[in-house]
Amino acid sequence: MNAPTNFSLEAIVDEPLRFDFEIFFSTKEFGREPLLDISPARIAGEVARVEGGHSLSARLSWSGKLECSRCLAPYDFSEDDEFSLLLYRRAPIAEGELSLDKDDLDAYFYDDPVVSVAPIVEERIQIALPMKPLCREDCRGLCPQCGADRNVSPCSCVVEFIDPRWRALQVLKKG
């Protein structure tokens, strides 16, 4: 059984509430193909009452294994992030269009005063995961002809790519 990973905002009166949680996720929960493995995420910080809501300041650390988007090799990835959020009770939604203000980007809206940190942690991890993970900046990738990993050894394939939009000019040149 997992330990609770939430806190009650109603319990915070004068002094900030300190917390330290370890949250377990599976790679399937993220739905991101390059994520091969993920360690438990550790989040520690405090929540304090501020005018109009609560302030959450925390440090989030986690690690995992990603798949390189060029050579498909697995590699280790870790993140250690300090962040802060303002927690506000969700207001009733009015009719019409809603727009986000710049201040809303660092805000978390809750319905229940017992706030779970798991969705906050999951969102921070989703933001930290690279769109195109690379095992290293100069990754040479796989050969499109033979599939050899060009980081390990060069292949002898000759890759001649001609943009199909120029093919018509090539025909005119031959004629």
DSSP-derived secondary structure for 122-143: HHHHHHHS-SS--SSTT---B-
Q: At residue 143, does pLDDT exceed 50?
A: yes
- Which residue from 60, 62, 75, 63 is spatially nearest to 133, judged by alpha carbons? 75
pTM for the model: 0.77
Instruction: Report the SS3 class of residue 50.
Output: strand
Do 43 and 117 contact (CB within 8 A), yes or no? yes
76 pairs with which residues across the strands? 65
Give the domain ranges of the chain.
6-139, 140-175
Q: What is the mean pLDDT of residues 18-37?
A: 90
Q: What share of the chain is helix, strand, coil (3-state, %, to 5)?
A: 20, 35, 45
Confidence of residue 167 (pLDDT cuts 50, 70, 90): confident
Average pLDDT, the chain: 87
Calculate ∠ Cα 52-4-41, nearest 5°. Answer: 90
Phi and psi torsions of 31, nearest 5° = 60, 30
Give the least confident one: 35-39, 138-142, 157-161. Answer: 157-161
Distance between CA 21 and CA 62 in Å, rounded?
12
Q: What is the mean pLDDT of residues 149-169?
A: 82
Confidence of residue 98 (pLDDT cuts 50, 70, 90): low
